[in-house]
Amino acid sequence: MIRIKARSVTAGVVEGEAIVSQMPISFTGGMDPDTGTIREPSHDLEGRSVAGKILVFPTGKGSTTGSWQFYAAFKRGNAPKGIINVKAEGVVAVSAIITDTPMVHELENDPLELIKTGDFVKINADEGFVEIEGKSDNEKG
């Protein structure tokens, strides 16, 4: 298990299976609130559901109405349960805060390299760190 320092955007602790994208995500038009599926054509997560996962991606993009879309997905049980961003952006941060979703960004090491889809990940946004199961410290690079 390795632990990486991070800056908290919201509070809370959550753990689960990671799903990792190398591309920015727009919640408006890019994620179906009825399924949690990424539906942006040519996105690296196209057709994959982020529901109940720890969603790891670079940053947000797109319409500021994305926070309404994320909130609807959350109420329908289809939102990710934790968010790790390289650098947080307004729409994603607001989505996390209105749904009490634990969220961190600005990690000491690049989460897009360290975390693979399927890894078991813990976000502790109260104390500001992320833990990845089954990895050793020398993988931090």
Partner 1 sequence: MELSKKQQEMLEGKHGRGARKAMEILVAYGECYNAERMIPITSVHIAGNYPVLMDEGIEWLEDLAQGGTKVSVYTTKNPEMFDFDDWEELKVPEMYQDRQRRIDAVLRSLGVTLTYSCHHYLLGNVPRFGDHIAWASSGSQVYANSVIGARSNRDGDHVALAAAITGVIPEWGMHLTENRRGQVVVETERLNLEGFTTADYQAIGWRVGKIVGDKIPVFVNLPADSAIQNIKGILYTLTVTGAVGLVHLVGITPEAPTLEAAFGGTVRPLDRISVEQKDIDQAYGEISFTSEDKVDMVIFGCPQCSIQEIQEIAGMLEGKSVHPETQLWICTSAWVKTLCERMGLLEALKSCGVRVVADVGAADGPHLYLKEQGVRVIAINSARGSYYAHNLFGMDTWFGSSRECIQTAISGRWEGKK
Return the bridge partners of 13, or none: 124
Q: Which is nearer to partner 1, 2 or 72 (CB)?
A: 72
Q: Which is nearer to partner 1, 68 or 129 (CB)?
A: 68
Q: In the structure encoding, which two tokens stand for residue 58, read together? A: 């670079």
Q: At closest approach, how far in Å is the CB of 67 from partner 1? A: 5
63 is catalytic: yes
Question: Which residue in the set 25, 38, 83, 91 belongs to the binding site for partner 1 (CB under 8 A)?
Answer: 91
- Classify the C-alpha dihedral 97-67-25-120 as positive or negative: positive
Task: Please list every residue from 48 through 87 that binds partner 1, using CB under 8 A.
Answer: 64-68, 71-72, 74-76, 87
Q: In the structure encoding, which two tokens stand for residue 131, read together? A: 């833990």
Q: For residue 52, which of 12, 79, 18 has the smallest C-alpha distance?
A: 79
How many Cα atoms sit within 13 Å of 94 on the Cβ side? Answer: 13
Q: Annotated catalytic sites, by residue? A: 63
Which residues in this chain contact partner 1 in the complex, by CB under 8 A? 7, 9-10, 29, 33, 64-68, 71-72, 74-76, 87-91, 93-94, 96-98, 105
